[in-house]
Structure 1
């Protein structure tokens, strides 16, 4: 069945030309010890300083946890959420902050440079911290006096740290609650306008960790209340970046190891002037957020980017499928949007007309997309699939990535497109082609896909039609493919 759809062959007039930083992926971080001297230093500190540092950190973390438990004694969840801590409990929070700061010293962060002045809660009820790049961002949090953070509710259950976070009286976000955003906004407004001595609320508006190469789109939660905010910039100007924790890069344990084996790590915190929203910004949170982001980007001397938190969901999907360079899918998605590609089926059909069903040149690629080969965005998209400097790409890799990007759920249409995209011969698919199509379109395990291939091949050729006939007799697959519902 051929759908009637039209592909936009040029950039939309309302969109600006692609900025030079578009392919500056904020979700990738590369970290390797390259020099022999670095390797020797790391090895020596691993067997000498590292055990001592881990012991001290463990003792301080345990002490801070015990004090947080003491401070929360006699308080229920309602007490913590509805009124600020007072008296000895408030003083104890300051003690815990100093302990955590000392913990960071043992974690190699001896040097913290502060520029500017932190506003009071009355001047700015909300602190905006960016860029958010690491779990080491706990350091600026404690240096700001352990303000209340906005965090997902699950953090309350993290061993040790859950109690410490709870003691800051956070504003928890319940992601499975459809009214959570409204409740969060209401809570921020209530605290900002209350006469009680609530701590400031601290928000990382990017919503996820990046590599600090740019500021991604700010989430709007901090800006809906329309109250004054103080932007706070974070920098880690170290020769070796052992703090950045992103979707594609070293894991938490490697980062901890390399940071704990540094002589000294540096953190810089810059308080910018309090930003008071105009009436227009109060009525338009997106404008408010963008203006604050622009000010912070200028201070940090980095670009802004239209990447956002939802892009990490696409990366997560690619990680679940065990795809290499999962974060590159975000680049593909952005470039497809810039070009104006909106009909994947037409692209698959165009690709099937190529003389070489796998490899294609830039000119062939442009024909598949129905755009000019001179389009800058098309050239950048093509370059993502170039390997070893050869200006020829495997068109199937692009088509499969595009299917993953467009796949909102398991559907018969997406399965059909995946089969068309991977098959060199639509009348009979190879095992590798079949497994790839099933894994991507139906999130099927490789083992099950193998079994299905063997079952179908034992009685007929494996192709899309034979698979659909098989699927219609399987309870879970019959929900996707039209046909009689039967038991396995």
Structure 2
């Protein structure tokens, strides 16, 4: 069904009149970047890799020099707050694992080509318990991590065809996939608490203790790069099939994709991969922001361990969520996934007040290597 919803005029992904960052003719060498340590080089790096620059009080890579009051508060949190949160999170994880174990007892997982297996296609009370308890416990886990309240806005269209933050309506079509900007691993917990969708994950996740079974109950699509046999169905094909299934069948598990492919500092929107748009189904765009005063929950240029510790040490964290109307692709967008992806990206950037960036995961790795080189020289 085609929607009459007004959308921004179609644009070609290749043309960008005002690109934020123009790619260099050659990929920069991390060693050459880190060879010179001076303010000029650092300023150039911050301009070039702006989407990954960390600007909170903890400084570059979370390794900046902290004032004594901040160190004192951090020490108190490590001693008193972090143990409580870690224990509570572990209890919630084990408790939900037991729920999933009971609900999947004596059942064989749904199996697809390429070794895909999940429990997301079971029905009845088992699926209801898995989904409802999963959503509730995900929200409890967010509360444990300091996300006590979440600001959520549903946007619709007013009579003039313009976005109206106060207007909501029943969706004309069920979206095949939810697409969201990617800022932190906390994004996953939020989406689990909101809609309990299926994600794309590495195959190794399915074998992890506790988390492996939970990922199968979510219906995750596993990426298995090591399989090259002729009967192996690539992850993109499986994802497209699952998106079509979710679009056509309201009882099918929802799909959730982060088309940027990596995390940013939350102020930028990277180029979208086309995986979420190949199925030609409507998408539901969701925009996440993490306001902060001291520590930014964005997982940009900081190590995972350091990020988790600082996040648990911060007493209160915040999420702002904006849901846009379901985006129904035009015939031109259906035939051109890159155009479809680019138009959705520009819409999300406009409505979320995000800056469009031309860099991606490759540049992020170069930036991290350069930062490590600069910091190691000090």
1:38-437 map, 5 Å:
38-78=70-110, 81=118, 84-93=121-130, 94-116=132-154, 122-130=173-181, 132-177=182-227, 179-195=233-249, 197-246=251-300, 249-311=301-363, 315=366, 324-325=370-371
Q: Which secondary structure state, in structure 2, belongs to the residue aligned with residue 295 of structure 1? A: helix
Contact 1:114 1:270 in 2 (8 A): yes
CA distance in 2, matches of 1:17, 1:83: 44
Q: TM-score, normalised by structure 1?
A: 0.57
CA distance in 2, matches of 1:45, 1:120: 44
Give how far 1:121 is off: 10
Q: Is the 8 A contact 1:68 1:96 kept in 2?
A: no
Say which one has the larger Rg. Answer: 1
- Deviation, 1:280, is 0.2
Q: Distance in 1 between matches of 2:334 and 2:261?
A: 21
- Separation in structure 1 between the aligned mates of residue 358 and residue 123 of structure 2, nearest angstrom: 42
Q: Could you tell me how far apart the structure 1 residues matched to 2:204 and 2:262 are? A: 15
Give the direction of change, closer, same or farther, for the CA distance of 1:241–1:180 in structure 2 (3 Å limit): farther
> Residue 194 of structure 1: CA displacement?
4.1
Partners in 2 of 1:26 and 1:175 — Cα distance? 28
CA contact (8 A) 1:125 1:200 kept: yes
Name structure 1 gaps, 5 residues minimum: 1-13, 329-488
Q: Deviations over 1:318-338 (max 9, x none)?
A: 97xxx543799xxxxxxxxxx
Query: For the residues of structure 2 that align with 1:165 and 1:181, how far apart are their CA atoms?
Result: 16
Structure 1 stretches of 4+ with a deviation exceeding 4 A read 14-18, 79-83, 117-122
Q: Residues 142 and 121 (structure 1 numbering): CA distance in 2 closer, same or farther, change over 3 Å?
A: farther
Any stretches of 5+ residues in structure 2 without a counterpart? 1-13, 23-47, 55-59, 112-116, 156-167
**In 1: Cα distance, 2:18 partner to 2:329 partner:** 30
* Cα distance in 1 between the residues matched to 2:348 and 2:15: 24
- Change over 3 Å in CA distance of 1:58–1:90 after alignment to 2: same
* Bigger fraction of residues in helix: 1
TM-score by length of 2: 0.72
User: Please, what is the CA RMSD of the aligned residues?
Assistant: 3.0
Matches of 1:173 and 1:50 in 2, distance apart? Answer: 33
Q: What is aligned with 1:25?
A: 50
Structure 1 residues 41 and 185, CA, compared in 2 at 3 Å: closer, same or farther? closer
Q: CA deviation at 1:181?
A: 4.3
Alpha-carbon distance between aligned partners in 2 of 1:122 and 1:74, rounded to the nearest angstrom: 36
Corresponding residue number in structure 2 for 1:475:
none
